[in-house]
Structure 1
Amino acid sequence: MDFATWDDRVEKFRIPAIQYRALVESLQAENTIFNDDAKAFYQVDLVASLEMEPYQHQSEALAAWKLAGRQGVVVLPTAAGKTYLAQMAMQATPRTTLIVVPTLDLMHQWYAHLKAAFPDADVGLLGGGSRDKSSILVATYDSAAIHAETIGSMYALIIFDECHHLPTDFNRVIAEYAIAPYRLGLSATPERTDGKHADLNILIGKEVYRKRAEDLAGKALAEHEIVQIKVKLSQHERERYNKLMQIRNDFLRESKISLGSIQGWQHFVMASARSQAGRKAMLAHREAKEIALGTDGKIRILTDLLAEHYPDRILIFTADNNTVYKISNEFLIPAITHQTPVKERHEILTKFKEGEFKSLVASHVLNEGVDVPAARIAIILSGTGSVREYTQRLGRVLRKGQEANKQAILYEVVTEDTSEEGTSARRRNEPQRTQRTQSKEGEKKGDLKVVYGTGQKKTPRAAEQLGLWNDSGDTPNF
């Protein structure tokens, strides 16, 4: 076997834990009699008290995962019911299970869901001061990586929530040191800028199913539209912005640095530390960015949108905490940042859910790992070029909740003729527009409004073409 190596110290073959399933299947295929003292996992009795009729995409995803041998990654947009899909996978694979999540908030959310779904099951926690030994264990990536060697043989099924966190040098041992024959990865955006998402094929399994928000609009998710509003810099802001960008670009040209890649940005950072000119260029870059992100025109647009959609629940996102606090002070809107105490954050989210607070402003802290009550309107005043961040922010308004005909709107406010236009194009995974696009809507109070619909061409996966499923006698081998 390619994955078996001889160890002279013990005069035995050694095989990586992640190859456990391949080894057992090879021995079984050859009708070889063997003793398996490696596995410490076992069957569990999972009787669900929390069940609902699954959406079609959840049934399709589960069937595709089972068809792939219960190994693989499922890509679904935020709010598409990945947690309930995981519950379905657990019920279809009733074995000891490890669920790995990126944050303590998510760990407690999963714990609460599993206790409600399986009240008679032994559900425990690993992380945040807890070190339970239970048949169903919810752990943070950090804690699971630290204890990877000791828990590696205990679980037959591992569910990696937000699985794009797995392929790091620190976290990947969770998958490598585990003998779990069944693995499920869940993410809205598994792609990573460093390209390591390709390692998910080895650590979990290949992508078996994918749906976009557009595909589920009007079904599992609310109908939605994405509206881009472009604002202009004031004359003073424009003059200052152009001057700062000239300083930066002159330095980049002289240093032969291109910012079109991560490596280019890294070279710029290093160059800025080596000379006075480099430092001046970096300071100019930062100030220009602050002008584009925080122009007064965006605050005027925000004022209009808040008035237009009152009393709908509105989520406001920015790229930095300074803008969060500025908006909070000017509009008397509750703010959540990484500095907000846990109890205060919980109180704010509760009052937002109950409708006492109509609006909420935050930076990156609500992107992932926080259970945000459903809203109908989201406003991105500024953000990064991350597709993942954009998808997660869109997902905050896609939950249908109790509304039968919910129409969600995501407003993206972008400063025209600045580097922010390129950032916007990157996060929407579109080529940057080189010419100003005039929408049919016309201009709104002097600002360009571009509407992107939801009827883009779908990209079906082979697993979605399978039609009717037959689960009779479909049980795990391990």
Structure 2
Amino acid sequence: MARELRRWQAEALAAWEAGGCRGIVGAVTGGGKTVFALACIERRKPETALIVVPTVALLDQWWEETAAHFGWALDEVNILSSRGRLRGGTVNIGVLNTVAKLDVTRSRVGDLMLVVDECHKAASPTFRAVLDVPAAATLGLSATPERPYDDGLAEVLVPALGPVIYQYTYAEALRDGVIVPFELRNLVFELEPERAEEYERLTRKIARVVSKLGSDAPEAVALYLRRARGLNLSQNRVVLTLKLIAAHRGHRTIVFHEDVEACEVIAEVLRANGISSAAYHSKLPMRHRADMLGLFRAGDLSVLVTCRALDEGFNVPEAQLGIIAASTATRRQRIQRLGRVLRPSKTKDQAVVYTLVATGPEIARLKEEEAELEGVADVSWSRA
């Protein structure tokens, strides 16, 4: 059955209706975007709805919530496959890369409403066809409240979905109890000498290539990726992560990394030291990942060590401690990861997130974030 809307959801719904049932809404991770979107569908009552999501994990959650919201059996919601087609008279849900390949313009579905979750991803040339759906009503969603959209907002998303009509920030979510109070502890550590030397060498080489060919040149991109991988594979990151977990033994912890092998190593060392843990990444079978998540939620696992698999789509409010051991430079990824730890639960009234940084650009990004979160989070800096 439909839930009572939170204040922000009711306000955003009113703004969406005032805008002709078109627009983009940004809300913090865990703020209730799914419930909000389903309320929009319920209010608009389109003949057919199409919900586009970025991952299979999110599809599963949307499927379950949609059926529960409308009091339907799961089979009454149409899940789109690569050979499927829109079914009129119901809600259709599909993953972005699947829907982008379907010729939905040929489907006879009458009055259609399009909902695009994590809509920034639909702005890429690969997935842009999703936005060509002939929809009478549109809704874009984003989990990132501060500077939520990359290039492509004005040129692609706004013409297709409508303007940004509402944003729900960390400060508002904290006030409303949607997220718990949190501390951000930024730890600056030293790279191993050989890693530091390689980082500086690649930085100089990148500068030369960018000056000659531009930052988008394949040669420059390859160097950026090589430098990032070397930075993320620092052994000191792994050692410091293990020390932090030991210092917070007993806390339900999520470790975020960028490398599958590093995740496996961390989890193996933790188990060898009597700490119940598991690696969680996309190379594992889906059923195994689901089992690990269930064990973590039940308290049978203390630590989940993830490689991007939890960035979008999973609700793990039981996590009390987050350790961002390695990350990309994207602001969006960091907000997604914070959101995994900041959701309230019966077992916690606050959260702590550590971020391990070693280079000037990493530090500069976190300094910028510190200014944005003034009055919202307690931010501290220390050297490892």
2:165 maps to 208
Residue 221 of structure 1: aligned partner: 179
- Gaps spanning 5+ residues in structure 2: where? 272-276, 373-377
Matches within 5 A, 1:71-470: 71-95=22-46, 96-120=48-72, 122-127=76-81, 131=85, 133-134=87-88, 135-145=90-100, 146-151=102-107, 153-178=109-134, 180-189=135-144, 191-193=148-150, 195-198=151-154, 199-219=156-176, 220-233=178-191, 237-238=192-193, 240-252=194-206, 255=208, 257=210, 263-264=214-215, 266=217, 268-269=219-220, 282=223, 286=226, 289=228, 292-332=231-271, 333-372=277-316, 374-402=318-346, 406-415=349-358, 417=359, 420-422=362-364, 424=366, 428=369, 443=382, 447=383
Q: Paired residues, what number?
A: 365
Conserved? CA contact 2:180–2:343, under 8 Å: yes
Residues 257 and 136 from structure 1, CA distance in 2 versus in 1: closer, same or farther, beyond 3 angstroms?
closer
For the 8 Å contact 2:185–2:352, the answer to whether it is kept is: yes
What amino acid does structure 2 have at the position aligned with 1:97? A
Q: What SS does structure 2 have at the residue aligned with 1:185?
A: strand
Q: Is the 8 A contact 1:105 1:369 kept in 2?
A: yes
When residues 143 and 155 of structure 1 are mapped into structure 2, their CA distance, relative to the original with a 3 A threshold, is: farther
1:73/1:204 contact within 8 Å kept: yes
Contact kept in structure 2, 1:374 and 1:396, CA below 8 Å: no
For each residue in 1:401-428, what CA deviation from the matched residue of structure 2 results, as whole angstroms up to 9, or x when unmatched? 335x72112111112x4554356568x4
Residue 77 of structure 1: CA displacement?
1.0
- What is the CA–CA distance in structure 2 between the aligned matches of 1:293 and 1:424, rounded to whole Å? 17
Kept in 1: contact 2:311–2:336 (CA 8 A)? yes
Residues 53 and 96, structure 2, Cα contact 8 Å, conserved in 1? yes
1:305 partner amino acid: L
Question: Could you tell me the percent identity over the aligned residues?
Answer: 25
Name the SS for the 1:200 alignment partner: helix
Secondary structure, aligned partner of 2:311: coil
- 1:209 to partner: Cα distance: 0.3
1:143 is displaced (CA, Å) by 3.0
Q: 1:223 to 1:119 in 2, by over 3 A?
A: same
Q: CA RMSD in A?
A: 3.1
Q: Which structure: larger Rg? A: 1
Separation in structure 1 between the aligned mates of residue 287 and residue 379 of structure 2, nearest angstrom = 46
- TM-score under structure 1 normalisation? 0.68
Shift in Å, 1:397: 1.1
The 1:251/1:140 distance shift into structure 2, 3 A limit, reads closer
CA pair 227-216 structure 1, distance change in 2 beyond 3 A? same
Does the C-alpha gap of structure 1 residues 67 and 318 become closer, same or farther in structure 2, counting only changes over 3 Å? same
Q: What does the per-residue CA deviation read over 1:149-185, in whole Å, with 9 as the maximum and x for residues that have no partner?
A: 223753432111111122233433333241x221111
Offset, 1:100:
1.1
Query: Is residue 58 from structure 1 mapped to residue 58 from structure 2 by the alignment?
Result: no
The aligned counterpart of 1:451 is none
Cα 1:192–1:263 shift into 2, 3 Å: farther
**Are the equivalent residues in 2 in contact too, given 1:317–1:363 (CA < 8 A)?**
yes
The match for 2:274 is none
Contact 1:70 1:183 in 2 (8 A): yes
Unpaired segments ≥5 residues, structure 1: 1-48, 273-281, 432-438, 449-478
Cα deviation for residue 73 of structure 1 reads: 0.4
